[in-house]
């Protein structure tokens, strides 16, 4: 639960306690105190402004005890629980808790759970190894450079590994309502570039058209279709009726209307249009692809994906070309996703775009139940397959 009335909360340095650094994080009705031997509060953006990612202001070391206390009223203090990420801290006397990060590097959060089911989460803290240093000239591996090299190496490896959602050796997965990571997106776009282009070409060659009834008021000499609604609207709008007529062909009409002739009449025409939910989806689909291409470039993943660049460039170039085509000039923006549309589910071109759209918007979480069963039963022969 977040308090909307509070200002932005940040970690602040609060001095030392028995030669141990102390940092604090304040909320509107409680205060969190962290004490540890090697806790550091430092803004690394000022020391390393060229970093491509943000490092938390509070930095702690793994394998070092972190003592934590929550100052609040006695009523809220009862039944309180403190977690570092998903791990519960160990409770100590006098309201103190202690926790040690083990074999853990990177960002973590402190979560405070109260007995009334309220939960608060702090700003992130950074966990580093004792083998690294925050001082560039400290004799140890400089942590920002180490982290950047580590992330670059992992990214290059993830980009180059074989990628196949339908591999026979895959883990079972379930859909997760969250956008997948950009590494996943890069593989999807690269491997499906030709399929996306072919699907969009199919849509462009034979777009789905829908018959709609167009209603409007037109001048009498422009009218092409007259029905009962025309006569009813004529009676409802007498301001369009004028005395006299200029053409002999209107003599019969004027006689029936006692000398009056309408200046404008109501007309209904059935016309074809491509401005329908299905084509609005295709327009949004192209916008998403171009946005993801820009994000891959912004995060330098585009440059690192040497083996996929030709496919990605071909895809981006074609989508930009098609997006500027006059065919989509009259197509509006998608407001509601047409999930039940039979056109999207069955029509050629639209069906393939929908399939890839789902891959780009829904992550997949591995299900390790089978692996856990193998571990529990100590099936060494099957473990070798993993």
pLDDT of 245-281, one tens digit each? 656 666 666 666 666 777 677 677 777 888 899 999 9
For 338-343, what is the mean pLDDT? 89
- pLDDT at residue 6 above 50? no
Q: Say what the pLDDT of residue 221 is.
A: 62
- Higher confidence at residue 342 or residue 305? 342
For 142-154, what is the mean pLDDT? 80
**Is the separation of the CB atoms in 97 and 90 below 8 Å?**
yes
Residue 5 DSSP SS3:
coil
Task: Express each pLDDT in 40-49 by its tens digit.
Answer: 877 666 666 6
- pLDDT at residue 307 above 70? yes
Query: Structure tokens of 267?
Result: 């007309």
Q: Say what the pLDDT of residue 18 is.
A: 75
Q: Say what the pLDDT of residue 321 is.
A: 93
Count of all residues that appear for the chain in the document: 386
- Percentage of residues of the chain with pLDDT beyond 90: 18
pTM of the model: 0.58
Q: What is the DSSP letter of 240?
A: G
Q: Say what the pLDDT of residue 283 is.
A: 94
- pLDDT at residue 377 above 50? yes
Q: Which residues are 274's β-sheet partners?
A: none
The H-assigned helical ranges of 206-250 are: 228-236
Concatenated DSSP letters of 7-47: PPP-EEEEEEETTEEEEEEE-SS-EEEEEETT-EE--HHHH
10 Å Cβ neighbour count for 214? 10
Task: Express each pLDDT in 54-75 by its tens digit.
Answer: 788 888 888 999 999 888 776 6
Residue 54 DSSP SS3:
coil
Query: Structure tokens of 74?
Result: 């006695």
For 273-291, what is the mean pLDDT? 92
CA distance 32 to 110: 9
**Is the separation of the CB atoms in 377 and 213 below 8 Å?**
no
Residue 30 DSSP SS3:
coil
**Is the separation of the CB atoms in 254 and 208 below 8 Å?**
no
Across all residues in the chain, what is the average pLDDT?
79
Residue 251 DSSP SS3:
helix
Residue 257 DSSP SS3:
coil
pLDDT band of 115, cuts 50, 70, 90: confident
Task: Express each pLDDT in 222-248 by its tens digit.
Answer: 667 777 776 677 767 777 776 766 566
Q: Say what the pLDDT of residue 4 is.
A: 41
- pLDDT at residue 168 above 60? no
What separation in angstroms does the CA of 129 have from each of 19, 132, 147?
21, 6, 11
Nearest to 141 by CA among 130, 155, 126: 130
For 159-185, what is the mean pLDDT? 67
pLDDT band of 364, cuts 50, 70, 90: low
Q: Say what the pLDDT of residue 185 is.
A: 87
Q: What's the farthest any 2 CA atoms get from each other in the chain? A: 108
pLDDT band of 160, cuts 50, 70, 90: confident
Q: Say what the pLDDT of residue 290 is.
A: 94
**Is the separation of the CB atoms in 318 and 168 below 8 Å?**
no
Would you identify the CATH topology of the domain 11-148? Immunoglobulin-like (2.60.40)
- pLDDT at residue 347 above 90? yes
- Higher confidence at residue 318 or residue 12? 318
- Higher confidence at residue 284 or residue 133? 284
- pLDDT at residue 187 above 80? yes
Residue 180 DSSP SS3:
coil
Task: Express each pLDDT in 82-96 by its tens digit.
Answer: 999 888 999 888 888
Q: Say what the pLDDT of residue 322 is.
A: 92
Q: Say what the pLDDT of residue 1 is.
A: 35
- pLDDT at residue 7 above 50? no
For 193-206, what is the mean pLDDT? 94
Distance of CA 287 to the CA centre of its chain: 14
Domain boundaries, the chain: 11-148, 179-206+282-361, 210-273
Q: Say what the pLDDT of residue 175 is.
A: 62
């Amino acid at each position: 639960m977040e308090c909307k009335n509070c200002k932005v909360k940040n970690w602040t340095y609060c001095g030392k306690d028995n030669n141990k650094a102390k940092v604090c994080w304040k909320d509107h009705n409680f205060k969190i105190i962290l004490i540890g031997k090697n806790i550091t509060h430092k803004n690394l953006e000022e020391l390393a402004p060229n970093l491509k990612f943000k490092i938390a202001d509070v930095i702690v070391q793994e394998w070092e005890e972190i003592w934590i206390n929550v100052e609040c009223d006695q009523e809220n203090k009862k039944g309180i629980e403190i977690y570092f990420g998903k791990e519960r801290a160990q409770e100590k006397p006098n309201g103190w808790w202690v926790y040690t990060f083990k074999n853990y590097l990177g960002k973590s959060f402190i979560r405070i759970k109260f007995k009334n089911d309220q939960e608060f989460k702090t700003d992130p803290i950074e966990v580093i190894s004792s083998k690294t240093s925050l001082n560039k000239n400290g004799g140890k591996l400089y942590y920002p450079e180490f982290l950047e090299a580590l992330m670059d190496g992992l990214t290059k490896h993830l980009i180059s590994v074989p990628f196949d959602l339908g591999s026979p050796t895959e883990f079972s997965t379930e859909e997760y309502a969250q956008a997948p990571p950009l590494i996943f997106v890069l593989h999807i776009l690269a491997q499906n570039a030709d399929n996306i282009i072919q699907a969009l070409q199919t849509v462009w060659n034979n777009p789905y058209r829908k018959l709609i009834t167009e209603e409007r008021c037109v001048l009498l000499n422009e009218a092409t279709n007259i029905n009962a609604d025309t006569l009813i609207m004529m009676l409802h709008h007498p301001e369009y009726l004028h005395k006299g007529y200029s053409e002999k062909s209107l003599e019969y009409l004027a006689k029936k209307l006692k000398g009056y002739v309408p200046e404008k009449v109501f007309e209904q025409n059935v016309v074809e249009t491509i401005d329908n939910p299905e084509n609005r989806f295709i327009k949004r689909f192209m916008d998403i692809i171009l946005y993801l291409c820009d994000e891959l470039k912004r995060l330098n993943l585009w440059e690192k994906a040497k083996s996929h660049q030709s496919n990605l460039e071909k895809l981006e170039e074609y989508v930009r070309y098609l997006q500027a085509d006059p065919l989509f000039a009259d197509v509006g923006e998608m407001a509601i996703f047409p999930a039940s549309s039979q056109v999207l589910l069955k029509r050629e071109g639209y069906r393939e775009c929908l399939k890839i759209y789902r891959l780009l918007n829904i992550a997949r979480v591995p299900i390790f139940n089978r692996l856990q069963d193998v571990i529990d039963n100590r099936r060494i022969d099957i473990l070798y397959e993993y």
